[in-house]
Structure 1
Amino acid sequence: MKWFKHVSPKVTPQSEPVPGKPTVANSAGGYSFAVDDWKRLDRFLVLGSEGGSYYATERKLTVENAAAVVACAKADAAEAVRRVVAVSDAGRAAKNDYAVFALSLIAANADAVGKKAAYEAVPKVCRTGTHLFQFAAASDALRGWGRGLRQAVADWYVNKPVRDLAYQMTKYQQRDGWSHRDLLRLAHPKTDFTGRNDLFAWAVGKKPTVDEVPPDGDLAPLYALEAAKKATTEDEIVRLIRDYRLVREGVPTNFLTSAKVWEALLANMPLTAMLRNLATMTRVGLLAHGSDAVKAVVGQLTDASRLKKARVHPLSLLVALKTYESGKSARGSGEWVPLKEIVNAIDDAFYLAFQAVEPTNKRWMLALDVSGSMGGGTVCGTVGITPHVASAAMALVTAATEKDRTFVGFSDRLVPVGIDAGMRLDAAVRMIEAIPMGGTDCALPMLYAKDNKIPVDVFAVYTDSETWFGKVHPFQALKQYRDATGIPAKLIVVGMVSNGFTIADPGDAGMMDVVGFDTTAPAVMADFARG
């Protein structure tokens, strides 16, 4: 009578389905639970599919996620649109591209009411000219130009304040093979306002010229752009930047090596642009030890309200930190000497960019999946930011909040990790990157805590859920831990890849999925931990 062990729902090898549980084969040859289309939508909006994953190409991952978005659009388009807007408007994702694409998918596949909801959301999701070009490109490929799409694009041009529209049209003139000229000719926006019509005329190659544009008022960005084309000295460029808010995209290339020009740009530079240009401003000599420019940059990076208003995402800060600290461009030959003040400020900004979290005073085990699959692919297509790296960075947010927490890294074996709240972000990431990678056994954190009698209230496992190596499934290991210790421990699965799998049992109220690198995730995790 030993046959029962082959069909017991209490102990099942991860390479086999669990009797009586809705497990499905994952990409690694093991079995996990499938997430539903709504969870897949949430993952895609935050993590995207750019760069693919260890097991799936970018194309395969995109096709799978697009199918989930379409399924949500057909099930409840209004809710699908609401989720897209919620992620986009709050800056919960590092890139808005996925929200724009999802919105175009909803508009192309929903019923008439759903299409209307999607088109009404265009100005909330497509806030910049670049977003609008992306939406147009996706919509054109998915279904062509119907009346609803034309009206949505026309409304974008007609309803923006003229000064804002002038800024958008001069800063973002063309992207993804589309220009304002293309969109205006397709959408035919109608307006009686002279200034708005002047912008439309300029975009399609007609008047006004710089001599016909007033140097103040709503069209000042257009005046500055056209005047910059005729400038011959850096003083002229500086004047246009200071007096008329000439954007960096409008500065002729030959003036972009001038510290004086960059000093003028810095005065009103958006935070996201400032992050992208830290290396350049250091290289040209504007950012130097103890300079006023450095003080200004540090002040902005460590201002939580500014970070939130500018929708600066933690992942953008992680990328900026790794790039700036390296002292060398990943795509070109540029080099610079990183300044400690800037590096420290980016490190501080990383934690500030997440939604504020209050300590739960629970006992946490932060378990980082460092298996081979976590080292493949990228998060949001960012160079050098694998799920492996991203999970380490995100776990530090909880570590900085909670006093009682244990760090472990695991693949086919588990090792304690000496990370503490006082450790710098870059140092912690290097420590995680140094752990040897192997197969995946997501049950190890719970088994390790049980065997070593470690009291844990919350296991937070950062993983792609492609588990296959262990002799027992993760949710079974959690049940063993609960039974052995009497602690009603919870499991939070932090999904680091937008695939369709999770190790959390959907039938257990003590387990929850969250999306990795969603700016609201740490706060949601804390709420769940409190009950």
Structure 2
Amino acid sequence: MKKYKGKTLTEKDCEAIVNEVQERMRKSILVNERSKVAGDGFEQQAPQEAYDDYQKALQKMAFRAVLKVCRIPTHLFTFVGYCQKISAETGAKQNSKGWGRGLRTAIAYWYFNHTPEDLARLITKYQQRNKFCHRDLLRLCHLRPKTSFPTSHEYWRRHKEFDFIFAYIVGDIEEGHKRKAEAEGNGIKKAKSENRKEETDEQRKKREEKERERVEKQMARMKLREEKIKVFSELKLPEAPDVESSAAAKLIRAFEEMKTVTDPEKAASLIREYGLVREHVPSNLLNSKPVWEALIADMAMTALIRNLGKLASIDMINDKEENRGYVLKVISQLTDKRALHKARVHPISILLASAVYKSGGGYRGKLHWETNPQITAALEKAFLLAFANVTPTNKRYCLALDVSGSMSSNVLNSFLSCREAAAGMSMVLLKTEPKVESVAFSDGLTELHFDQSTTIDQMLERVNNMDFSSTDCALPMLWAAEKKKEFDVFVIYTDCETWFGDVHPFKALQQYREQMNIRDAKLVVMGMTSTGFTIADPTDPGMLDICGFDSAVPELLKEFVLGNI
């Protein structure tokens, strides 16, 4: 199994992934059904029918998970984009866009299952991503309430606010499209009427018959629509809150007003009064201290960490006396243990942010700043406080750190070196897992006696003094087998050098499993500067290659170790 970080999936990638998953599940189900046949002596369900039923159930479960997985519109837009890509490459219909009933229903439910306040904030904060905007999704999913909604559904109680938000998303553009379609329709009708002059009596009879059928169907649809309107009117509470006084409408109007504001003080006032966030503010106002002062007052922890460079670049958190209030405010928020826990900030996220801040400039772009020792110290404290947010897997780990010279290079798109990233990940596991042993390897292997009290600086000092050359990724498993050490997971931290000696790493893991009788022992290889390599056996679900490194890697590692992916 392989996981890429920092790479956008192409249509070819999507097709390969879907085909692999489908083939694995098809084989698994066929084997399972055949074993049932052999055991029972008769066939209860044909294997292919079982596979078809499984696919339908899987799709249904996936669409139900959309609301939980796609917490923000960015996730929703990304999901829709991949649905279209995958459907175009693997769908039953050629050039399918993937907008079947299941996807339409899932997207519609996403919009209807937020409160008006939350929905207003989401659609204004995340207006468009990945070539999609909210208007696109409303158009594609044919958004409308369902009579199947329970009577207690939020829409029936606050339908005026929902309808206002949907009308805001669509705007006057929809009416323009309708007028255009009607104009084009009139042209088509005119052309058809001109062609009718040449039709025969038989053609006329057929046309009239089709017209009667069309009118009958249209009348039936109109009757059904009238019945639905009647049901809707009965379900909608007449005493629904008024739109004008609603928080959702006020936020949307404040957002629209913000687009025209040029005075920083006025912008700051809107931010404080309506709880607007950075994404609501025009870019021309984001160099203003009053605006940022209003923003950081209630800024989410992850957003604050992400914007430290911006705050520093406008000389707001440097060590000048005039900025003392801003600095103390930022330090107070960064070192707030409760806020860190609420935001579920992982230590690695802070380590990456700290590396960017210490660099004095963005990895890309034109931002530059002077660092403040007080902010640096606050980030170091936040890093330690965030360990409380890590949930242990209670597995036995062998951490293998590549100490070859190339580990001093930086992680892709980061100011963090591969060695620092490996030390940070090791420190997280040492502090949170019950049994962790560390080794350093290259073309040889040395045991590292790290424990919960070992700091990153101490780790770096220890491995920096080692002199190794090439990188044999099989050594940790061979060493563990020789020493009779019991591990559930081997994690190898390297850059892009994945050389191996006489024994391939996946062979070494297989031998370790057999020798130690730990059949589910796992291997994870992190190539932190690599864009592509293959060490893991792609047919072995207990092996994983990770290319690149970012804040999502710790969660990926945890889910893999627990067997969830």
TM-score range, shorter chain: 0.5 to 0.7
Deviations along 1:304-328, one digit per CA (max 9) or x if unpaired, are 5533433434443232122111111
8 A Cα contact 1:365 1:456, kept in partner: no
* Number of aligned positions between the proteins: 435
Equivalence for 1:394: 425
**Residue 294 of structure 2 is aligned with which of 253, 256, 264?**
264
**Residue 291 of structure 1 is aligned with which of 324, 343, 347?**
324
**Residue 554 of structure 2 is aligned with which of 506, 515, 518?**
518
For the residues of structure 1 that align with 2:23 and 2:101, how far apart are their CA atoms?
24
8 A Cα contact 1:216 1:244, kept in partner: no
8 A Cα contact 1:158 1:189, kept in partner: no
Q: CA deviation at 1:399?
A: 3.3
User: Are 1:115 and 2:59 counterparts?
Assistant: yes
8 A Cα contact 1:370 1:435, kept in partner: yes
User: Are 1:279 and 2:319 counterparts?
Assistant: no
Write the letter of the residue equivalent to 2:354: L
Equivalence for 1:147: 101
8 A Cα contact 2:536 2:543, kept in partner: no
Equivalent residue runs for 1:17-416 within 5 Å: 40=1, 44=3, 48-51=4-7, 65-71=17-23, 111-143=55-87, 144=97, 145-191=99-145, 193-206=159-172, 214=244, 217-289=247-319, 291-351=324-384, 352-353=386-387, 354-357=389-392, 366-370=399-403, 383=414, 390-400=421-431, 407-414=438-445
Distance 1:221 1:499, change over 3 A: farther
Deviations along 1:17-73, one digit per CA (max 9) or x if unpaired, are xxxxxxxxxxxxxxxxxxxxxxx4xx74xxx44349xxxx99987766555444566
8 A Cα contact 1:255 1:261, kept in partner: yes
TM-score by length of 1: 0.65
Deviations along 1:410-444, one digit per CA (max 9) or x if unpaired, are 22234566977666547856986897785432343
Higher Cα Rg, which structure: 2
- Unmatched 5+ stretches in structure 1: 1-39, 78-107
Distance 1:60 1:200, change over 3 A: closer
- Unmatched 5+ stretches in structure 2: 30-51, 88-96, 146-155, 174-241, 547-551
Secondary structure of 1:166's counterpart equals helix
| Bigger share in helix | 2
Greater relative contact order (CA < 8 Å, ≥ 6 in sequence) = 1
Write the letter of the residue equivalent to 1:343: T
8 A Cα contact 1:153 1:183, kept in partner: yes
Write the letter of the residue equivalent to 1:320: A
Tell me the C-alpha RMSD between the 2 structures. 5.0
Q: CA deviation at 1:467?
A: 5.8
Write the letter of the residue equivalent to 1:241: I
Write the letter of the residue equivalent to 1:316: S
Q: CA deviation at 1:175?
A: 0.6
Distance 1:335 1:436, change over 3 A: farther
TM-score by length of 2: 0.62
Distance 1:410 1:235, change over 3 A: same
For the residues of structure 2 that align with 1:116 and 1:403, how far apart are their CA atoms?
39
For the residues of structure 2 that align with 1:342 and 1:155, how far apart are their CA atoms?
43
8 A Cα contact 1:367 1:462, kept in partner: yes
8 A Cα contact 2:506 2:536, kept in partner: no
Q: CA deviation at 1:499?
A: 7.3
